[in-house]
Amino acid sequence: MVKLPRLSGSRESRFAHLLAGDINLDDLPAMIKTETGHSRSSADNERLKQLETEVASMRLELDSLKAQLESFRKQFE
């Protein structure tokens, strides 16, 4: 096991095993980006779409509540 240097933007250091031989530290950032970049991006995009749908639904509900409140207020004018 070897402790790898901390990459910019990461909170903690990473570790790598040496079963496959020595590690070239120059290739490390590219390897990490290709291994984790796509899965995170896809999951983030899915979550973003879900949140956008939820916000749109909440906006419709808010508009409905505003209309109900305005109707209620008009009863007392």
Tell me if 7 is assigned to some domain: no
Number of domains in the chain: 1
Q: Is residue 71 included in any domain, yes or no?
A: yes
Domain annotation covers residue 18 = no
Residue 56 lies in a domain: yes
Give 8-18 pLDDT, tens digit per residue.
777 777 777 77
Does residue 9 belong to any structural domain of this protein? Answer: no
Task: Name the residue with higher pLDDT: 35 or 54.
Answer: 54
In a domain, 11, yes or no: no
Q: What is the model's pTM?
A: 0.47
Residue 32 has pLDDT above 60, yes or no: no
Q: Which residue segment(s) compose the domain that 52 sits in?
A: 25-77
**Element (DSSP H or E) covering residue 63:** helix 28-74
pLDDT in tens, 55-70: 999 999 999 999 999 9
Are the beta carbons of 25 and 4 closer than 8 angstroms? yes
Alpha carbon 38 to chain centroid, angstroms: 12
